[in-house]
Structure 1
């Protein structure tokens, strides 16, 4: 039997990448267009962040998210929408005054982080399951904040994708399940290779996979040059996959990528391994997602 996987295109992210690759989408129209092109190339899911059209940096503006989602939903191309709920967690250490974040600190309450999800009701959203040293900053998601976010997501009916940047995040995600804060079969995502979280290698991926609940679905992605190797490893071991400019800027050494090119490259590798890509409607049924169209689309 041919294996089928969910393929996510993470089209922009929130990192300082817009000056490194001109194809990283910034405006709501660019982000929506890139999501649509990724779907046309074969992606099942578009994972979206909003950016400030003027600065290219992270945006929490609900109107930016509304425009992105509206443009995608009004297009003729079907794709599952997955909105980040991980914004507003960046703490820049200030050694001269450790109690106060330094320049660039961007913190939001759980309710603020949830606003785009609760207002726009995508099929899916991410839930970052713990704090981590993220390069030179600290990404902060304390446990009580996460419990509150999980409760808000549960009430919205949106399916959370449980983002695990390290093994402790996996443990806490299982605690949320034990506390009844997640409905249905859980969806985990292993976020591999981010400094200084879990390593992007097969041993680490399998360590995390082997500790999943029996009814769990899972996906994995690697950053930079490990993006495509992790695609192949995850599919080989029964997982779903993710590519996109949020995680990797290059199609090949020295060649900047577009999102749809990364999707196409991943599909070529998966087809060579006898792995097919789920359609959005197949994934809605398989993962028990809401259908915002209310029909068969």
Structure 2
């Protein structure tokens, strides 16, 4: 029997700049749900969800997440829901001496950063596992923040997906596991070629996989032109994959993609490499999840 690979689709993301490049980026809850359902029908077992305001700007409003989750659960398409928890973790600095927060700062206390996961209880929610520089913004994830968010998610029955943009984030997660905060088996996501973390190079993927804790489940993605080559690299190394318009808007040079196009391309790579895609029910069994809704 061929190995089963779980395919995730990140259907819209949280970037505003991409809207001017691709008019087909899902914006409204109905558009996001339609894209998620289409991605699931194309072979995605998991859909990764951000939400947007009417004008397309990224949002963290609970009401928007609630609309998307309800519509997905009411649909006839079985798919695992993965909600982002990354929006309210950034600071900007107008001055360093003395330190002065800029107007673009969106930092909230740990509970408020995961409140939609607590309230809506998706099967998975993301946990960016360390401090990062995002251009002029700094993403704040102190160990105390990670401990609190991890406990809150798990107490709600939500599995944290540990987002790792570099090797140190894996070490942070291993500390959470060692101290008993993060339950096993942990689920890791390698986030590569984002422009601010590790590149999607074979050596990087190999190193990240090698330092994972025993029994870890893992997957990853590359952004832009690295998206599909990274699918092949990850499948070869035994991981699961993510594609979608959050990570890359092109099917090939100069040709804009849909989420369905990208999922179908990933499925084709997986099958040509001798593996097969996991259904949502198979993915739940592999990841230790219980179906919601």
Does structure 1 residue 20 correspond to structure 2 residue 21? yes
Q: Map residues 111-122 of structure 1 onto 2, 5 A cutoff.
A: 111-122=111-122
* Cα offsets for 1:237-267 (capped at 9, x unmatched): 1000000011111111111111111001111
Distance 1:148 1:96 in 2: 28
Distance 1:93 1:205 in 2: 33
CA apart distance, 1:15? 1.1
* Cα offsets for 1:106-138 (capped at 9, x unmatched): 222111111110000011111110111123322
* Cα offsets for 1:142-183 (capped at 9, x unmatched): 221111101101211111110001111010011111111122
CA apart distance, 1:104? 2.2
Distance 2:137 2:289 in 1: 34
Residue 37 of structure 1 is matched in structure 2 by 38
Q: Map residues 22-171 of structure 1 onto 2, 5 A cutoff.
A: 22-53=23-54, 55-95=55-95, 99-171=99-171
CA apart distance, 1:99? 2.4
CA apart distance, 1:197? 0.9
Distance 1:92 1:224 in 2: 26
CA apart distance, 1:103? 3.3
Distance 2:248 2:23 in 1: 13
Residue 208 of structure 1 is matched in structure 2 by 208
- Structure 2 portions without partners, runs of 5+: none
- Structure 1 portions without partners, runs of 5+: none
TM-score (norm 2): 0.96
TM-score (norm 1): 0.95
Residue 174 of structure 2 is matched in structure 1 by 174
Does structure 1 residue 270 correspond to structure 2 residue 270? yes
CA apart distance, 1:184? 2.6
Per the alignment, in what secondary structure is the counterpart of residue 56 of structure 1? coil
Per the alignment, in what secondary structure is the counterpart of residue 194 of structure 1? coil
Does structure 1 residue 229 correspond to structure 2 residue 222? no
Per the alignment, in what secondary structure is the counterpart of residue 220 of structure 2? strand
Residue 257 of structure 1 is matched in structure 2 by 257
User: RMSD value over aligned CA atoms?
Assistant: 1.3
Is 2:5–2:270's contact at 8 Å kept on the other side of the alignment? no
* Cα offsets for 1:171-201 (capped at 9, x unmatched): 0011111111122311111111122211211
Per the alignment, in what secondary structure is the counterpart of residue 241 of structure 2? strand
Distance 2:100 2:45 in 1: 41
CA apart distance, 1:97? 6.5
Aligned length: 292
Change (3 A) 1:121 1:62: same
Q: Map residues 237-256 of structure 1 onto 2, 5 A cutoff.
A: 237-256=237-256
